[in-house]
């Protein structure tokens, strides 16, 4: 016998089915810090010297000089947007694993460049078993999940993050890795909002394992 649900319940069920996997991601603070880690590496590797200042001048004033100003590329919304653009695509190489450095379970980059060292308890198995097709499938599944979470957190914080990149609150120039990553976490993962907790609301730790 087929069951029919009221329209409102059908809509609610569909919404839960599409949003729960992202919102209910395990180790949420670690997931947010993983996104912050990727942003840090983009900041640390960007080549600002090759980018020209933006010409915002227009028309002429009464003295025949052009109106407006030249805007340093580093302070532009264009640069901030480029840093964030397609950032979530890079989360595909992450998975939930135990860090060799901290012995804690969380989101680590386990494939590709800058992959992090894992702590592996073989439990009588071989390293080949762990790194075989089953492990690869898990990385693929975890990575897709983190990509979805990344999109959600960036959409939530895009306006504030772009502003922080433009005004220099988030900046790798002349700052240590620890300071830069702490600044990223403060903006991306540790914010105050009524009736909504940030991903790292209950954690005081301001570091990202690079």
Mean pLDDT by 10 residues, the chain (210 residues): 46 39 75 95 92 77 73 93 96 90 89 80 42 60 93 95 96 90 92 75 57
Per-residue pLDDT, 2:
44
What is the Cβ-side half-sphere exposure of residue 192, based on CA atoms within 13 angstroms? 0
Taking CA atoms, 83 is separated from 125, 142, 182, in Å, by 41, 23, 18
Per-residue pLDDT, 167:
95
Per-residue pLDDT, 154:
96
Per-residue pLDDT, 57:
66
Name residues whose C-beta falls within 8 Å of residue 6's C-beta, 6 or more positions apart in sequence: none
Name residues whose C-beta falls within 8 Å of residue 152's C-beta, 6 or more positions apart in sequence: 22, 23
In the chain, count H helices and then E strands.
6, 8
Taking CA atoms, 178 is separated from 37, 56, 136, 143, 163, in Å, by 11, 35, 31, 25, 21
Model confidence, pTM:
0.74
| Strand pairing report for 58-60 and 94-98 | unpaired
Per-residue pLDDT, 194:
61
Per-residue pLDDT, 208:
59
R_g of the chain, CA atoms, integer Å: 22
Residue 175 gets the label, from left (phi > 0), alpha (psi -120 to 50) or beta, of beta
What sign for the dihedral angle of Cα 193, 195, 200, 204?
positive
Per-residue pLDDT, 209:
61
């Amino acid at each position: 016998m087929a069951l029919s649900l009221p329209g409102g319940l059908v809509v609610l069920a569909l919404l839960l089915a599409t949003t729960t996997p992202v919102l209910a991601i395990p180790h949420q603070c670690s997931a947010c810090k993983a996104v912050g880690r990727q942003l840090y590496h983009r900041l640390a590797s960007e080549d600002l010297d090759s980018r020209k200042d933006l010409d915002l001048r227009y028309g002429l004033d009464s003295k025949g000089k052009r109106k407006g100003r030249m805007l340093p590329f580093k302070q532009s919304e264009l640069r901030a947007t480029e840093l964030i653009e397609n950032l979530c695509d890079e989360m595909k190489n992450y998975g939930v694993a135990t860090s060799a450095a901290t012995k804690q379970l969380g989101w680590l980059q386990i494939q590709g460049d800058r992959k992090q060292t894992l702590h592996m308890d073989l439990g009588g198995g071989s390293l080949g078993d762990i790194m075989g097709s089953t492990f690869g499938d898990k990385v693929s599944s975890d990575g897709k999940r983190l990509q979805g979470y990344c999109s959600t957190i960036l959409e939530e914080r895009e306006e504030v993050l772009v502003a922080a990149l433009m005004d220099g609150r988030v900046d790798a120039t002349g700052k240590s890795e620890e300071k830069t990553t702490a600044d990223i976490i403060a903006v991306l993962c540790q914010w105050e909002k009524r009736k909504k907790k940030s991903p790292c609301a209950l954690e005081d730790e301001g570091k990202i394992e690079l």
